[in-house]
Copies of this chain bind each other. A is one copy, B any other.
Amino acid sequence: MSRQRQGSLVSYRPDIKVLDCTMRDGGLVNNFAFTDEFVKDLYLANIKAGVDYMEFGYKASSEIFDPQKFGKWKFCKEKDIRDIVGDNKTDMKLSVMADVGRTDYKKDILNKKDSVIDLIRVATYINTIPAAIEMLEDAKKKGYETTVNIMAVSKVNDEELDAGLELLAQSSADVIYLVDSFGAFYPEQIERLSDKYLNVAAKYNKKIGIHAHNNQQLAFANTIEALSRGVSYLDATVSGMGRGAGNCYMELLLSFLRNPKYNKIAIMNFVEKHILKLKEEGAVWGFDLPYLLTGILNSHPSSAIQFEKEKRTDYAMFYQELIDNTL
């Protein structure tokens, strides 16, 4: 079923929610080694900017991941979040992400009444949806809002995706996310996929979200394409900070949205104070040719990240290696 565009360029849709995942996706750039000042200032900037949800990082298992080797936002302990936000007496909600198979959610996700976290975001692949559903039920029972992110859907065939969406639409997830993990989709494809997700959502009273990557300089374009179809939860990061080519820029997204609650200036001031420094200190992310190549080949950015780390510039050879390894 094809759908109509929602909203217009001069009005706003009150159902839109903006989620900042700078610390979570950006944490993949710097191993979650953010200073407390960075985190506190980002928290304050997001509040001023009218951001609806701020994601602090992952709820990763400390039995799988050595806490000596990662910054604390890989684990998002209750105390660490509270050290920044206190009881978070603000209009902005807080989220963490939990990966299927990489979290001790039964133990590490507290009851909502004991936590300052509002939203649990479960990240799954298509073949781990039953495990994701268990996590979603657990989080819902504990009292949280929930989303589920089906990753790498650019690798999933339509039949499986339809079946997965049906399952998740009947689960405890409040929001199902369309995730372009590899930055492989063009806006035309996002249009069709958004319509598909929205049609399932409409049957079960769920919302749809979008999480885009910038491998083809399309993260923002794909986000507003999805938005214009009716997708309402929008992920973005400050200056697009995120793994590889990074994400949709928060600065672009807030400039596009017409709801007067949003204020891009607070984010720009944060960029001036923190992001420029982070880049000077050597953190690297954002569009570059190797990410374009993994994007168009619909493959994981890890090889491109390695290419950049080694300061290689032989793009043509890299492309041949990618073809050998992915097609």
Q: Which residues of A contact B (CB under 8 A)?
A: 5, 9, 186-189, 214, 216-221, 224-225, 228, 249, 251-252, 255-256, 265, 268-269, 271-272, 276, 289, 292, 296, 313-316, 319
Contact = CB atoms under 8 A, between A and B. Distances in A.
A228 B269 CA distance: 38
Given A217-B220, A218-B220, A186 B315 contact: no
Contact of A271 (B214, B219, B315): B315
| A contact face: mostly helix, strand, loop, or mixed | helix
Nearest to A218: B221
B289 A251 contact: yes
Contacts of A216: 220, 252, 255
A259 to B, nearest CB: 15
7 contacts: A9-B186, A216-B255, A217-B220, A217-B252, A218-B220, A265-B319, A272-B316
A245 to B, nearest CB: 11
Given A289-B268, A313-B272, A316-B265, A186 B218 contact: no
A249 B217 contact: yes
Contacts of A314: 272
B276 A188 contact: no
Contacts of A316: 265, 268-269, 272
Nearest to A228: B188
A268 B315 contact: yes
Nearest to A240: B217
Given A9-B189, A265-B316, 16 more contacts: A9-B186, A9-B188, A216-B220, A216-B252, A217-B219, A217-B249, A218-B221, A221-B221, A252-B292, A255-B292, A255-B296, A265-B315, A265-B319, A268-B289, A268-B319, A272-B315
A254 to B, nearest CB: 10
A187 to B, nearest CB: 6
Contacts of A5: 188
Contacts of A187: 187, 221, 224-225
Nearest to A273: B313
B289 A256 contact: no
A242 to B, nearest CB: 14
What 7 A-B pairs come out closest when comparing CB atoms?
A: A221-B221, A268-B315, A272-B313, A265-B316, A255-B296, A217-B220, A217-B217
